[in-house]
Chains A and B, each alone.
Chain A
Amino acid sequence: MPVPGPHTLADDTLDRVAAGDQDAFTALYDALAPAVHGTALAVLRDPDHAAEVTQEVMVEIWRTADRYDRRLGSPRTWATTMAHRRAIDRVRSVQSQRTRDQAALDRDRPIDYDHVSEQVEGRLEAERLRHCMDGLTDTQRESVTLAYYGGLSYREVAEDLGAALPTIKSRIRDGLIRLRDCLGVTR
């Protein structure tokens, strides 16, 4: 990952977790829970909902560590992806209306990348992300933000902005490619 943090995980941590090693899991929890919780909180905005998602995801990691496929990314990517997906599912099932209202608010209020973070690596990463986000066009940034943080599908983004579907798909795609290249993310 771009900025290794103080909680750099040993390569075999997940293997040990898959074999049922509770100490290894505790280390894994401490390393990954902030990213998981931060993701859930960014999407859900509600601390209780976010805490529930974090708990679900971390227990799920313990139970499915033997299915983790390193070819699809680092443990952190795996955990964060799971957190985002669950948060989005919650948004779509429980709070779709609220989210739409929230998305409307988000359009008028830039995302706060200075979100208080207790983690040095989080601050560094937030700084990098802000820098890279600045490299997107306004429309790319808007589409990516509405989708990732606002929980809107690309169809909803298109509807919301009164733009054509292919346009929004391209904005999301081009935006993510720019971010990927700027962040130096390889996997």
Chain B
Amino acid sequence: MTEDSMSHHDPHDLLAAWAIDAVDPDERAAVERAIAEDPALAEEAAGFLATAAVLGAARAVTPPTQVRDRVLAAIRTDATTTQAAATHLPAASPGTRSPRGRDGATRPGSTRPGTARSDATGPGSRRGLSRRLRTVLVAAVLAVAIALPSVSAWQQHQRAVQAEARADRITALLASPDAQLLSGDLSSGGTATAVVTADAALVTAEGVSDPGDGKVYQLWVMRDGVPVPDATTGVSGDAFQIDTTAYRAGDGLALTVEPTGGSQAPTTDPLLVLAPTV
């Protein structure tokens, strides 16, 4: 029996064996790499997988009731954990309408997932964000949004309302199957986190310095290496949030400091550039 190594043959030959899990781990990895790079191969793989699925599904038998009970209990625990994380927010000042108690990530019906666009990158699925990560992020954003220096009850109230709206937006963005999370440090201090989807981006920064009088932070959508001007923002406390619908899958994002009103082209070096993995 001669051993033939994967490097000597075509993943195409192994596609059917791969679909019924009859290959070794190295071969499996090689086939999956090939599928990720070749749409025609992916199409064929899908046909084999659907065929293999019939071999299993034709033997369908309802599992014991205990299995259903245990599974549903496990997902409830998941959701409860999520809810606990979402409600674990710092106490807001008295008189503030706090968003506490909102279930940031798993309120049924609270989000309308965006439609995943097929991108040109072939069938390799872009990893969505885990539900836990979403929850943590939403909770963090809410915490930042409501942990603001006390200005006036009215402003506080306004901010809490805005924070809720922002949290809703984040949740909606994160529900999109193609959502990606990017994050990096600003060279001037602080951290920015961006949630990007096929057609929107939301950048939340924390621990940033005030850009100074007459200056704002400005967000740029980097398309084919060219910065497209987008929204500007001042800083509330040490945090800001900018969102844009000018973003498209594959674009990068950059932040600069610009004169109030924003610029048409960057006048300073970027403090941060975020590039999604495509």
Number of interface residues of A (CB under 8 A): 89
Using A84-B20, A172-B22 as known contacts, say yes or no to A35 and B48 having CB atoms under 8 A apart. no
A39 contacts B71, CB within 8 Å?
Answer: no
Q: How far is the CA of A79 from the CA of B66 in the complex (A)?
A: 19
Contact of B59 among A38, A72, A85 (CB under 8 A): A38
B58 contacts A126, CB within 8 Å?
Answer: yes
**Most interface-central of B19, B58, B107 (chain A CB within 10 A):** B58
B52 contacts A176, CB within 8 Å?
Answer: yes
Q: Which residue of A is nearest B129, CB measured?
A: A66
Q: Is the interface of A mostly helix, strand, loop or mixed?
A: helix
A125 contacts B58, CB within 8 Å?
Answer: yes
Q: Which residue of B is nearest A91, CB measured?
A: B21
Q: How far is the CA of A62 from the CA of B72 in the complex (A)?
A: 10
The residues of B that contact A34 with a CB separation of less than 8 Å are 60-63
Using A20-B79, A154-B17, A172-B22 as known contacts, say yes or no to A121 and B60 having CB atoms under 8 A apart. yes
A122 contacts B58, CB within 8 Å?
Answer: yes
Contact of B56 among A39, A116, A165 (CB under 8 A): A39
Binding site for B on A (CB under 8 A): 1-2, 12, 15-16, 18-26, 29-30, 33-39, 41-42, 47, 50-51, 54-55, 58-59, 62-63, 66-74, 76-77, 80-81, 83-85, 88, 113, 115-119, 121-122, 125-126, 128-129, 144, 147-149, 151-155, 157-159, 165-166, 169, 172-173, 175-177, 179-180, 183, 185-187
Q: Can you spell out 12 A-B residue pairs with CB atoms less than 8 angstroms apart?
A: A18-B177, A34-B61, A36-B56, A58-B67, A59-B75, A72-B49, A73-B50, A80-B52, A81-B49, A154-B22, A157-B22, A176-B19
